Amino acid sequence: MLFFARERLVLLSVPKTGTTAWQSALGARASMVVRDPPELKHAPLYRYNRFFRPMFEKFCDGPIEIVAVVREPVSWLGSWYRYRQRPFLRGKPASTEGLSFDAFVQGYLQPTPPPWAAVGSQAAFLAPRPSGVRVDRLFRYESQDALRMFLEDRLGIAVAPERENVSPPAPLTLSPATESALHAARAEDFALWTSAEG
């Protein structure tokens, strides 16, 4: 998570949407960078609303603009699948080594996903709060230029993020039945991505 006090701006770190690169590019310019632990770095909107927003708004004397990035759901799941194939997870419950992407997505769609497919939901991560707090600007991961231009305009600086934390390549093939089931079960995630800028 990045917080810019003067601009009253927060960039939430939705997992697997390239926010680590933005943290590296803008960390020196930010008032606060939340890097660890992952539960705080990747604080969903409900956690931001409960723990961070009251503090930020107190010191900024007013509401904060909330910005986030969302990724096309199949690509987002593919990033999780590839990340969990890394050697450091070998032999651990979260490892996807030896699994096909289709099997990973089928596991993800189970009522209680196995540890290697328990990755949550972008729509749940960004779900508006009963208090009315919601993401003000939502950008597509696939349209990095739109986010870059927005940040350059708001912060008054040139920004040139470099790719970081890139997982090794792996086939991301889904059967028609699995893809159809994913679209039906996670319609809110696809709708969220469709609604984003870019």
Assigned token pair, 9: 């701006």
DSSP, res 173? -
pTM for the structure as a whole: 0.93
The tens digit of pLDDT for each residue in 86-140 reads 999 999 999 999 999 999 999 999 999 999 999 999 999 999 999 889 999 999 9
Q: What's the half-sphere exposure (Cβ side, CA atoms, 13 Å) at 2? A: 23
Please tell me the distance from the alpha carbon of residue 10 to that of residue 42, in angstroms, as a whole number: 12
The tens digit of pLDDT for each residue in 28-54 reads 999 999 998 989 999 999 999 999 999
Element (H, E) at 73: helix 73-83
**Axis crossing angle, helix 187-195 with helix 73-83, rounded to the nearest 10:** 110
Q: In what order do the strands lie in the sheet with 2-4?
A: 32-33, 2-4, 9-11, 65-70, 137-140
Please tell me the distance from the alpha carbon of residue 124 to that of residue 135, in angstroms, as a whole number: 12
| Residues ≥6 apart with Cβ < 8 Å to 131 | 49
Which band of pLDDT confidence, cut at 50, 70 and 90, is reported for residue 61?
confident
Residue 89 · residue 33 · CB < 8 Å: no
Q: Which amino acid is at 163?
A: R
Residue 119 · residue 108 · CB < 8 Å: yes
CA 43, 1, 153, 131 torsion-angle sign = positive
